Structure formats: C-alpha cells, structure tokens
Chain A
Amino acid sequence: MSRVSRRALLRGAALAAPGLLLGGCDALGASPSFRDMVLGSGEWLSYRVHRLIGSDALAREFAPSEISPTFRTNGNTRPASPEWQRHAETGFADWRLEVGGLVEAPQRLGLAELKAMPARTQITRHDCVEGWSAIGQWTGVPLGAVLAAARLKPSARYIVLHCADDFDGMAYYESIDLVDAFHPQTILAYGMNGGELPLGHGAPLRLRVERQLGYKHAKFVMRIEAVALLGAVRGGRGGFWEDTVGYDWYAGI
C-alpha cells in the first residue's frame, strides 16, 4: 500500500468516525435490549451501591434564609379530574387519602387526621431531572407513620402513590422502595414555606422523598398502595415517566 493511499484511508476514517459513532449510538439506544441491559447497568449499580453505603443517610436541611425566592412549579399544576376539582373547591374538606393493597388495616384519612399525626418540617433542596434546583420548606406526616397505622403485610416490597393528575388521560403515579418509604425525611407534605400546600405544588398532599429527583415526588396523592411487585402496576416500570419516556425508576443520581 502506498503512503498516499494509506494517508487517504486514515483521513477517510477520521472523517467518517463521528458519523458512524453518532449513527451507531442512535441505533444502539433504539434497541430495547441494549437500552435496558447495557444502558440500564448504571441505574442497577447506583441503586445497589447507594443502598449499601448510605441507606439511612439524611438529606441536607437548609436554613430559612437559604429558601429559593421563587419555587417554580413543574408537571401538572391543576389536575383535570372532576373529583379533584370538586375537592379543590371545597378546600379538600371531604377528601380522604386511601391506604390499601398489601396492608392489614386499610385506612381512609382526611386532612385533619393527617395533621393530627406526628408532623415533620424540613427545608430541603429539590433537584429536577432536567438540572435545576430549588430550596423550599415542607411540612407533613412521615409516610412511615401512615404505613405503620396500616400495618404492611410481610409480602409488601414497594409503595405506590396514585395521583389525581394525568397527561393525555394517562394517570400520574410513582413508587418507592421500603427503605425510602420508612426514611425519616420521606413525608406526605400538606404544607409548604409556612403555609398550606399550594394547588400548583400538589395540594392536598404530595410526596417528599428527599434523596431522589423531582419526578419521584408525586403530587396530588389520592391513594397509597403497598405491592409486592411493580410489574403489574399500570405500565409496569414503577412510574408515569418511567413508563412513557424511560426515566430510571431509581432517581438518586
């Protein structure tokens, strides 16, 4: 092979490489098995390592002076459901949180009952999967206290939160494992920044699961269900965004 043709070959390879790389990565990303097995390895590893090294760790709590001047809303800000709208008009006076699934004592709890339970107030940083962060103060009842009242059956492994809002008719929902469900900072918040939880931030009740990204913090919570497996719940991947666009179920990173 002459020097010139070798040089031409190298130059051709250098010019073609970016196109091949990009086309190759798009093709690999479109393959379901590559997407789930190879590109799912990060979530698999992060989840296990995080549970191993810090399952009890507490999220940073901030001072009142560090609260964001504006805490933007995200996702749905006013559910279309007639049921939720009726509750919103009456100040959620007749609204009840249902707690069921794999529990010994199913519950129906009104806002007054939830507020009579032990409360926790925390100033934490909310991190959206898109990259922004906002600091706010949240007041609510620890999810663990609600689950203790309902008494989980031994087969329960995950807690599913069913919400009043939807995107194009597909209901929002989320799920977490029992480590996060019984974490002291995991609360069902009914208050924000010293006042009632605003409608746009998920009234009457939203989840705060402080060591995960924003989409896990389900708003407009109507029903809590304890399950053994996530596969049988709605789309099977544990949450609305997980089912529809492929966000990771474990959102600790």
Chain B
Amino acid sequence: MADASPDPSGRTIRRHRVSTRLWHWVNAGVLVIMLMSGLMIFNAHPRLYWGSYGANSDPAWLEIGATGAEGYLRVGGAEFDTTGVLGVSTRDGRLWAIAFPGWATIPSAYDLALARRWHLSFAWLFAGGLAAYAVASLVNGHLWRDLRPKGRELAPGHLWGEVKAHARLDLAKGEAARRYNTLQKLAYLAVLVVLLPGMVLSGLAMSPSMDATAPLIVDLFGGRQTARSVHFIAAWLIVAFVVVHLVMVLLAGPLNGVRSMVTGRYRLPEARR
C-alpha cells in the first residue's frame, strides 16, 4: 500500500483474483441447482431424525405434511399451518400434496430419480470447485492475507464497534473499504471452512458405500440420519448467508460490487465529507 494517497476515494483497485471470480459465479449457479434438487429429494421423505436410523414409525424432529387440503410444518412440539407453501401448494392451477412447492424444486413436478441425478452430478462440481478454491486460496495466500482476522480485530470492543456500524448501515469507505471488515471475514470463513465442507461431508455420510469406505465421516455426525438433518440445516444456513450477502451487496453499491466480481476492478466508495 505504498501508493496510498491521503484520500483514495473514487480510486479503482484490483479486488478479486480470477480464482475467486470464477468460483463465485460457478458456485452461484451450482448452489441454486443443489438447493432446488435437494428440496425435491427431501420431498420423497419429508421427515428428519437424529441418530443412525429413522423411518415412518420413529419420532421425527421435523416433518412437513398435509392433512386433507391443509399443509403443516412440525418442528419439535410446534405445528405451523403452511397451506399454500409447505405440505400443500398449487401448481398449474391444481392443489398438490407435496412438501416443498414446484417453484422451489428441480424438477418442478415430483421426480426423485431426476432430482437425484441433478444433485449427485452437480455435487461433483460443487465439491471439486470447493477443493480447487481451497487449495488455490492456501497457495496464493488469500486465506491467510485477506480472510484471516488479525489479532486486534477479534477483540470484543472492536467486534462490538463493527456490529454497531453495521446496524447503522455505516459501511466502510475510502481506504477502509480496501479490506474485508471482521464480520465479513468471519462470515466468509464460516461458509468456506465450516458450512460448505460440512455440506460435502454430511452428503457423503448419507452414501451407504462411502459409509463402508470411510466410516469416520458418518461417525463425525453420529449417524446417517443425523447427517441428513445436518445437511438440511446447513443448506438453510447457506441460504441465510446468501440472503444477507445480497442485501449487503445492494447496500454497498450493487453495480460496483457486481463489476468487481466480474472484472476484478473495484472503485473505493467515497468517504463522507
């Protein structure tokens, strides 16, 4: 940062490496396909359990279903009426008893075989992309230099200050916008190091063949049905991350943000005068 001038606002910097940009956009497509085909697979047995086994006569901690024309979501002891969205929904002008509605699934009409083909083919692209990006980020220093919170950044006072700034929608300007803020680093790390690898591992733990070859993976979760539940929960945590991510992109300046992820070039937002 030898070239940093006192007020670099409005300057354009190179922000994202080609590996980051490529992986970002491949993932954007792959994750949508994985989520929507995954919801269709869930539709085949819309109940979740803890432990190694779990079937219709075993207690489910989450269930989506229908009684007549009324859809419901049961979580633990609570029941919610979800008619129209979960359990019962309309497609092509007709009522369907299906856990997740057609507009949220691939394919849109019930087809477990085809949903599995989408999911288990694109899973290779998802896992391969993640592995390639992780290796590239270790080699080129991205993980260590850009994503690792520095010592003082993890101090409670600093973190609290960032939380307050975010709550005021007071986003980084000028020189400070060169780097990710700590909350941003923690969010990216949680997704990159915990959630995405967790999706791959909990997915592998559901494979009877992989459970024979690498029993450590299913043991890590404490059973195949627990792995299936974790897979479901982690999927929604990724959805939550994407929603917050998109809101932050909109707040921080969508055109500048999208351009930086396409071309790599990012214009530092002007500091308030």
Contact = CB atoms under 8 A, between A and B. Distances in A.
B131 interface: no
B52 A42 contact: no
Interface stretch (B109-117, B160-168, B180-188): B109-117
Interface in A78-126: 125
A109 to B, nearest CB: 28
Interface in A197-253: 210-213, 241, 245-248, 252-253
Contacts of A45: 124
A68 interface: yes
Given A130-B112, A133-B225, A72 B52 contact: no
A242 to B, nearest CB: 9
Contacts of A125: 52-53, 208, 211, 224
Nearest to B211: A60
Contacts of A132: 45, 47, 54-56, 225
- A29, A41, A46, A247, most chain B CB atoms within 10 A: A29
Interface stretch (B6-14, B73-81, B100-108): B100-108
B-side binding surface: helix, strand, loop or mixed?
A: helix
A133 B224 contact: yes
Nearest to A19: B103
Secondary structure call for the A interface: loop
A134 B113 contact: no
Interface string B208-241: 1111111100100000110010000000000000
Interface stretch (A51-59, A159-167, A170-178): A51-59
A169 interface: no
B32 A252 contact: no
Residues of B in contact with A, size category? 35 or more
Contacts of A141: none
Contacts of B45: 128, 130-132
Contacts of B228: 131
A25 B52 contact: no
Interface in A8-43: 18, 21-22, 25-26, 29, 35, 38-43
Contact of A43 (B52, B117, B218): B117
A70 interface: yes
B118 A29 contact: yes
B209 A50 contact: yes
Contact of A59 (B58, B103, B211): B211
Interface string B119-160: 111111000000000000000000000000000000000000
B261 interface: no
Given A69-B57, A212-B208, A247-B116, 20 more contacts: A29-B118, A38-B121, A39-B121, A42-B122, A42-B124, A43-B117, A68-B55, A70-B58, A127-B208, A127-B224, A129-B44, A131-B42, A131-B45, A132-B54, A132-B56, A210-B212, A211-B208, A252-B208, A253-B206, A253-B210
Interface of A: 18, 21-22, 25-26, 29, 35, 38-43, 45-46, 50, 53-54, 57-60, 62, 66, 68-72, 125, 127-135, 210-213, 241, 245-248, 252-253
